[in-house]
Amino acid sequence: MRILFVGDASNFHNTLSHALREMGHETVVASAGSKWMNTERDINLLRHPGTLGAFRYVADVMRALPRFRGFDVVHIVNPIFLQLKPGKVRMVFDYLKRNNRHIFLSALGTDYEYVQRCYDGHTFRYSDYFIGDQPSPYILSPESGKEKAWLEPFMKRHSDHIIPGLDGIVACLYEYYVAYLPIAPDKLTYAGIPIDTATLKPHFIESAPDKVRFFIGIQRDRNYIKGTERLLAAAKRVCDRHPNLCELRVAESVPYKQYVAMMQSSHVLLDQLYSYTPATNALLAMAQGMVAVSGAEPEYYDLIGERENHPIINVLPYDDDAIYRTIEEVVLHRDRLPELSRRSRDFVVKHNDSRVVAQRHIDFWEQIIDKKRHSTTHKL
């Protein structure tokens, strides 16, 4: 098949693209390079700041449109898959539908449907926005304004245009699967996040380390929404209390390849606080034999059908002292790390290897294409 990916997030589409090429398909990635990560792409759609940057970006999109034709499958990264106002994004979406066979959404991040479920008070026990019925630190921070804009009426109108026009939706996390389940159960699947495990050499923890090396990545513009500031504060408390038993390494908004390299000398990754699911950061670390402190709720393991191997140290967001105790337990019971290290790599190879995730996409596309073909034949 010929497959076009428009937009990217956390290297998802680029990793999936490479796996599909290895499996004999033709792929094109048009993206901004996942912002600061500067990931690979075939068509550069990076928007520079300022008025001149806006004009140049529109020109780049217009020049790219003729190359966005004739694909069997198009995957957009979000209902807002370009850095344009919704009305202009809809025009490009309609162009993609007219000039390609099938169009899918990769449910990868914040959009109207996900935010709606976070605010409804019953879909999630906690999220980026609420912890129980209380607003999260992110909601109370100055950073939350643009996220709340997802709930504006014009964003609902945009979503109501995009979602019915899709042939299918592929969720990468449990949360996004649940978000779309009420509105599109007949064209939804879960595929997971692709990790190119073949290129990530594991550095297993062979014995209990004398000093546990923690690693945390900071994204300046996503500190509050990921809960990183609370994890960082708890980890500093642990290291201050046990300076001879642990240390903390912090990476702040570094390019993707440099970030992965920085991980390799650490034992334990501290990742997202408000997630039910380990995301790209945690899975990358686990593939290299690190242990992840992240989201890993029972609902996630149930969705992927994993009954035995639960290597992720689940951290809950309800109480800062509880976060501290979760991290301290890693230090006090560091003899568990060697086994968790190997189980973590096994987990990613089984559930998130990029070829495994690519095959799930192919199976779903073929299912949707066959269903569409049979529907057309029946009408004739």
For residue 46, the Cα-to-chain-centroid distance in whole angstroms is: 19
Q: Is the pLDDT of residue 220 over 80?
A: no
Query: What pLDDT shows up at residue 224?
Result: 58
299-312 per-residue burial string, b: 16 or more CB within 10 A, e: under 16: ebbebeeeeeeebb
* Cross-strand pairs, 188: 169
pTM value? 0.93
Q: Is the pLDDT of residue 223 over 90?
A: no
Query: What pLDDT shows up at residue 259?
Result: 78
Q: Are 256 and 214 in contact (CB under 8 A)?
A: no
| Position with higher pLDDT, 379 vs 56 | 56
Domains with residue ranges and CATH for the chain: 2-194+354-379 (3.40.50), 197-351 (3.40.50.2000)
Query: What pLDDT shows up at residue 263?
Result: 81
Parallel, antiparallel, or unpaired: how do β-strands 134-135 and 130-131 relate? Answer: antiparallel
Q: Is the pLDDT of residue 67 over 90?
A: yes
Query: What pLDDT shows up at residue 52?
Result: 93
Instruction: Calculate mean pLDDT across residues 303-329.
Output: 96
pLDDT tens per residue, range 130-156: 999 898 888 887 766 677 788 999 999
Q: Are 175 and 277 in contact (CB under 8 A)?
A: yes
In angstroms, the CA 374 to CA 369 distance is 9
Nearest to 65 by CA among 74, 53, 78, 54: 74
pLDDT tens per residue, range 70-103: 999 999 999 999 999 999 999 999 999 999 999 9
Instruction: Calculate mean pLDDT across residues 292-310.
Output: 97
Q: Is the pLDDT of residue 326 over 80?
A: yes
| Position with higher pLDDT, 144 vs 47 | 47
| Position with higher pLDDT, 335 vs 255 | 335
First to last CA, the chain: 26
- Of the given ranges (169-173, 214-218, 302-306, 361-365), which has the lowest mean pLDDT? 214-218
Phi, psi of 104 (to 5 degrees): -125, 160
Query: What pLDDT shows up at residue 221?
Result: 58
Task: For residue 374, count CB atoms less than 10 angstroms from its CB and return exposed for 0-12, middle for 13-18, buried for 19 or more.
Answer: exposed
| Residue position matching structure tokens 């529109």 | 58
Query: What pLDDT shows up at residue 111?
Result: 95
The model's confidence at residue 237, banded by pLDDT at 50, 70 and 90, is very high
Phi-psi region of 35 (alpha: psi -120 to 50; beta: other; left: phi over 0): left
Please give the full DSSP string across 36-98, using - where no structure is assigned: GG----SEE-PPPSHHHHHHHHHHHHHHHGGGS-S-SEEEESSSS-SSS-HHHHHHHHHHHHH
Query: What pLDDT shows up at residue 140?
Result: 81
- Of the given ranges (91-105, 174-188, 222-236, 298-312), which has the lowest mean pLDDT? 222-236
- Of the given ranges (29-38, 226-235, 284-293), which has the lowest mean pLDDT? 29-38
In angstroms, the CA 9 to CA 305 distance is 26
- Of the given ranges (23-37, 60-74, 153-167, 321-335), which has the lowest mean pLDDT? 23-37
Instruction: Calculate mean pLDDT across residues 334-347.
Output: 98
Give the mean pLDDT of the chain. Answer: 92
* Cross-strand pairs, 313: 293
Angle at 33 between CA 32 and CA 38, to 5 degrees: 130
Query: What pLDDT shows up at residue 280?
Result: 92
Query: What pLDDT shows up at residue 372?
Result: 78
The model's confidence at residue 378, banded by pLDDT at 50, 70 and 90, is low
- Of the given ranges (68-72, 107-111, 242-246), which has the lowest mean pLDDT? 107-111
pLDDT tens per residue, range 12-41: 999 999 999 999 999 999 999 887 678 899
State what percent of residues in the chain have pLDDT above 70.
96
Instruction: Calculate mean pLDDT across residues 169-180.
Output: 97
Query: What pLDDT shows up at residue 38?
Result: 82
Query: What pLDDT shows up at residue 254?
Result: 75
Contacts (Cβ under 8 Å, ≥6 apart) of 243: none
In angstroms, the CA 83 to CA 89 distance is 8
pLDDT tens per residue, range 354-376: 999 999 999 999 999 988 777 66
Query: What pLDDT shows up at residue 39?
Result: 86
